[in-house]
Amino acid sequence: MISPAESTKSIRLEILRQDTPSSQGYWQTFDVPITPASNVTSLLRTISGRPVTSDGRNVAPPAYEASCLEEVCGSCTMVINGRVRQACSTLVRRLMAESPGSPITIEPMTKFPVIRDLIVDRSRMFENLKRIKAWIPIDGSFNLGAGPKITPEQQHTMYPLSRCMSCGSCLEACPQFTRDNHFLGAQIFSMARYYNMHPNGKPDADARMEVLMGDGGITDCGNSQNCVRVCPKDIPLTESIGVIGRSATVYSIKKFFSK
């Protein structure tokens, strides 16, 4: 905890910046006043209001994303003190407890192309969600009537999966997910499991399995289990990987005998 006396203190922030998608990154250091309630987003906002480096240079404010400010949208995901997490829910006092006396380092995620400073292009993740049809097909303005019943047992399994906010943390931490391959990653496997379980998502289950068994699919998972360690929503990702692996086996057998 930060004591009242410490609440007037500053903390040093080292930010890895990058001006354009193709330019080299460089570090800039800022000293920022903190309060007991400071989180990393609030520090970035303070810097934006007065973007002056520790050695007194006026610079452009660091570019970063934030929307919900309550760990729901995933847009503020970045690498803070070497660990991927959300800037809005990362409290400065916790970081100080983790590494007393050290500056806070902030870097953009490394598995997605940098657009500027801490903003990355996570289109790959959203394109993959489109590929697995991560939606319930209920288009239309007519009355579809009551939806199918979902048992409390199904809800118990599905609800944790539904909490995914597409932050990309699991992909950032995964050694298998690199910029030059097509690995889908734990988030996609887990979302496919969710929609395959949903009564209205089931009709597209085979189409999902085709994607999950193609290039970059489930067989490429190295089972490092880093994904489950960093997921801020505590989604049982390794369980989902196991379920999708078994579904892939069943689907292959079904496909073989239906030839």
- Asked whether the beta carbons of 254 and 203 are under 8 A apart, the reply is no
Q: Does 91 bind ligand FES (CB under 6 A)?
A: no
168 binds, among ligand FES, ligand SF4, none (CB under 5 to 8 A by kind): ligand SF4
For the CA atoms of 86, 89, 95, 98, the dihedral, rounded to the nearest 10 degrees, stands at -90
Structure tokens at 240: 């989902």
For the CA atoms of 187, 188, 192, 194, the dihedral, rounded to the nearest 10 degrees, stands at 20
The distance of closest approach from Cβ of residue 85 to ligand SF4 in the complex, given in angstroms and rounded to an integer, is 10
Strand ranges for 117-207 from DSSP E: 119-120
For the CA atoms of 170, 176, 181, 182, the dihedral, rounded to the nearest 10 degrees, stands at -60
DSSP string, 65-109: --SSSSSSS-TTEEEETTEEEETTT-BHHHHHHHSTTPPEEEE--
Q: Does 150 bind ligand FES (CB under 6 A)?
A: no
DSSP string, 1-33: ---GGGGG-EEEEEEEE-SSTTSPPEEEEEEEE
Binding map of ligand FES across residues 40-79, x = CB under 6 A, - = no contact: --------------------------xxxx-xxxxxx---
Q: Does 168 bind ligand SF4 (CB under 6 A)?
A: yes
**Which C-beta is closer to ligand FES: that of 221 or that of 227?**
227
Q: Does 197 bind ligand FES (CB under 6 A)?
A: no
Interface of this chain with ligand SF4, residues 224 to 243, rule: CB under 6 A: 231-233, 235, 237
The distance of closest approach from Cβ of residue 173 to ligand SF4 in the complex, given in angstroms and rounded to an integer, is 8
**248 in helix, strand or coil?**
helix
Q: Which of 164, 192, 209, 241 binds ligand SF4 (CB under 6 A)?
A: 164
The distance of closest approach from Cβ of residue 67 to ligand SF4 in the complex, given in angstroms and rounded to an integer, is 15
164 binds, among ligand FES, ligand SF4, none (CB under 5 to 8 A by kind): ligand SF4
**Which C-beta is closer to ligand SF4: that of 108 or that of 168?**
168
217 binds, among ligand SF4, ligand FES, none (CB under 5 to 8 A by kind): none
**Which C-beta is closer to ligand SF4: that of 111 or that of 133?**
111
**Which C-beta is closer to ligand SF4: that of 166 or that of 224?**
166
The Cα 28–Cα 123 span in angstroms is 27
The distance of closest approach from Cβ of residue 167 to ligand FES in the complex, given in angstroms and rounded to an integer, is 7
Structure tokens at 234: 């505590």
The Cα 200–Cα 2 span in angstroms is 50
Residues lying near ligand FES in the complex (CB under 6 A): 66-69, 71-76, 86, 88
Residues lying near ligand SF4 in the complex (CB under 6 A): 164-170, 187, 190, 231-233, 235, 237
